[in-house]
Structure 1
Amino acid sequence: MTSLHLTSGSPCPPLQDGKVRIYAMRFCPYAQRALLTSAAKNVETDIVWINLKDKPEWLVEKSPGGKVPSVEIGDGRIVYESLIIADYFDDAYPEPNLHSKDPVSKAVDRILVEGWGKAGSPFYQLAFVGSVDAEKVPELIKEFEGVVSTYSKELEKRGTKFFSGDERPGMLDYMIWPWFERRPVIPMFFPDAANWDEIRQNSAAIDQWYNRMKEDPAVAKYFVTPEIHHRYCITVKEGNIDFDMLTKV
């Protein structure tokens, strides 16, 4: 695993025998999906961090469009897009199963994974845009937390510790987790823009889930504290992104 994010002019590290290469960015929630599922499946990985503002020239050979995450198998084949990578790991490494074996339950969870996309735009504007209109902030918070509340109610309806059941997290849990790990940065940026106590009351089930997820070994392996996420988001808002922040902590 490289410790720093590689930039233009950096050579591509050689593949390591017996390991699956993951091209990622340490603070990218989509890349975190690949990291979480590989860890949950106990896959031997070699992670190469990529500076997305000054990308190595060879990245387009490893990921069309120059995006992360991307996975390179030992025989040189490439798999990219976070949800497809997650499915690849679940299919290629049978245990433990992350998708439900029940076709209907699996389909419902896939719908919920796709539905989570509604939270992406308001979260991005709140966490990463430096010049977001102050008058729009309460509505953006309402939009984002409205999606969160929907998932909290779904978990409450299921009556289980995780979306996948009581035993351990499953695919849906891991696919939405990266945004919940970053969720605390919003009240850190906008402490007076919403009634946060009321919001927490409306998402009690998901807040309990959050605390359980932090104890999961795969989540704990790549967990970044809200304080560090907040510091990273500040560098994004200010236009001076610090990809290598964790090497200085």
Structure 2
Amino acid sequence: MTDFLPILYSFRRCPYAMRARLAVAASGLSCQLREVVLRNKPQPMLDASPKGTVPVLVLPDNEVVDESFDIMLWALRQKDPGQWLRPEREDVETMMALIASCDQVFKYHLDRYKYPQRYEDTESAPHGQAGVAWLEQLETRLQSSRYLFGERPCLADTAIMPFVRQFARTDMGWFNAQPLTRVNAWLSAWLESPLFMQIMHKYKPWEEGDPPVVFPAPSEPS
């Protein structure tokens, strides 16, 4: 039966891959997971998506989805038991705008804060402060609800959280000292959640000829 499952090329620690796995797991769909070593990318993945970044989803009809947010939408538009695509508070357009701002604005500063050596004439500290300034809007949202758009998670929480995690882990002491008490609690709750623990299971790097690995892992019989 695994021959009829989509194939998801992933890398455990990549925030883009994390959010794709979160949506697949939350949807209740299954796929074949192929854990990638980024310094030695498998040729079938490169054949499917020559840009060589994860995640890459190859559907049974050989259609390729190689943007993480599109993979989230692909999964949730088929099955969305948690109603992630329907925010409890405000509208879908506002939710999508916040995600776009994360991907375009917050990610810009995150990259330069975490990896200043990759960018010419770049210092980490100003981008760290700019990242905190962006996160202040999440802090404001979380003053009135447990999640970003209400009392239950939605797409914005899971599309944004992996990048906040990466930002926080760059310098945990400094991050914890910032005036982001609610963001910190929101992030901690996600990192301790069963869903996050499920999608962060460690898998052996995939090699051609390996037996298929079903993701999420089937539940053990009780």
TM-score (norm 1): 0.70
Whether 1:90 aligns to 2:76 is yes
* Residues 1:153 and 1:77: Cα distance change in structure 2 (over 3 Å): same
Structure 2 counterpart of 1:210:
187
Whether 1:56 aligns to 2:42 is yes
Q: CA deviation at 1:127?
A: 2.5
| Contact 1:126 1:132 survives alignment (8 Å) | no
Q: CA deviation at 1:112?
A: 0.2
Structure 1 counterpart of 2:2:
16
* Residues 1:214 and 1:133: Cα distance change in structure 2 (over 3 Å): same
Whether 1:140 aligns to 2:127 is yes
CA distance in 2, matches of 1:40, 1:98: 9
Structure 2 counterpart of 1:231:
none
Structure 2 counterpart of 1:180:
164
1:25 to 1, 11, 33: 11
| Contact 1:127 1:185 survives alignment (8 Å) | no
Structure 2 counterpart of 1:125:
112
* Residues 1:208 and 1:38: Cα distance change in structure 2 (over 3 Å): same
CA distance in 2, matches of 1:82, 1:105: 22
Structure 2 residue runs without a partner (length 5+): 206-222
| Contact 2:25 2:199 survives alignment (8 Å) | no
Q: CA deviation at 1:45?
A: 2.2
Structure with bigger RCO (C-alpha 8 Å, 6+ apart)? 2
| Contact 1:125 1:132 survives alignment (8 Å) | yes
| Contact 2:6 2:60 survives alignment (8 Å) | yes
* Residues 1:172 and 1:139: Cα distance change in structure 2 (over 3 Å): same
Q: CA deviation at 1:165?
A: 2.3
Q: CA deviation at 1:100?
A: 1.1
Taking only aligned residues, the RMSD between alpha carbons, in angstroms, comes to 2.9
Q: What is the number of equivalent residue pairs in this alignment?
A: 202
Whether 1:220 aligns to 2:197 is yes
One-letter code aligned to 2:187: Y
- Cα deviation, 1:132-173, whole Å, max 9, x if unaligned, reads 8998232121011111112211222xx211124223x21000
- Cα deviation, 1:74-99, whole Å, max 9, x if unaligned, reads 23222221111111111112423211
Whether 1:166 aligns to 2:154 is no
